[in-house]
Amino acid sequence: MSRRPAYWLLMALLPTLALAGVGHHVKDDHWSSEYDALFRKYTKHYFGPHFDWHWFKAQGIAESGLDADALSPAGARGIMQILPATYDEIRERNRFMADIEDPRWNIAAGIFYDRQLYRKWKKKSDIHTSERLNFAFASYNAGYGNILKAHRRAQARKQVVKRWDQVEAHAPSETRHYVRRIQRLMQAVE
């Protein structure tokens, strides 16, 4: 039996699977608090003391469901689902980071990488400050170059593109669902 049909079925279901658990706000008891101190520490370190660390916990939920042992078919590892090659690049600038499998360093590396992407979007003066994180998350998921191409396609239709919702239609479907999932996890459920 060929594995190809099963693969395509999984890819078709991925957006639906990605939304599993979205009814639970990032602060809900449904999600483990085991790694909260790490999310707090590295958010403060890379984004400053006033940045809401829950954004990165929501990203960890979207990436792996906070599973430190998660391994994707592409080889991405840990809570933040970092590819080993990306981790090696991050370690070149952060020699103190040890094993990618260690939740501490996996979370630190993921948030550091988010900061790098956030800064890249900061250089684009047309992106609103409040929107930069959406662009960083999209870039984390699909790659900066792919989201930059999506941004350019959106600009071809509109002269000034300042918000993620103007670009998302030009981004990969998986990335649209990924950013939406993080946003939903952050929305208060009352």
Mean pLDDT, range 68-93, rounded to an integer:
96
Task: Write out pLDDT tens, residues 144-176.
Answer: 999 999 999 999 987 788 899 999 999 999 999
What does the longest C-alpha to C-alpha distance in the chain come to? Answer: 54
Q: Is the confidence at residue 128, as pLDDT, over 90? A: no
Entry field: residues in the chain = 190
Q: Give the C-alpha separation, 76 to 68, whole Å.
A: 11
Domain ranges of the chain: 23-186
Q: What is the pTM of this model?
A: 0.85
143 φψ region: left (φ > 0), alpha (ψ -120 to 50), beta (else): left
| Burial class of residue 81 (count of CB atoms within 10 Å of its CB; 0-12, 13-18, 19+) | buried
Q: Give the C-alpha separation, 96 to 161, whole Å.
A: 38
Class of domain 23-186: mainly alpha
Q: Mean pLDDT lowest for which of 5-14, 88-97, 113-122, 128-137? A: 5-14
What is the structure's pLDDT at 131? Answer: 93
Confidence of residue 188 (pLDDT cuts 50, 70, 90): low
What is the structure's pLDDT at 23? Answer: 58
Mean pLDDT, range 175-186, rounded to an integer:
96
Mean pLDDT, range 87-93, rounded to an integer:
96
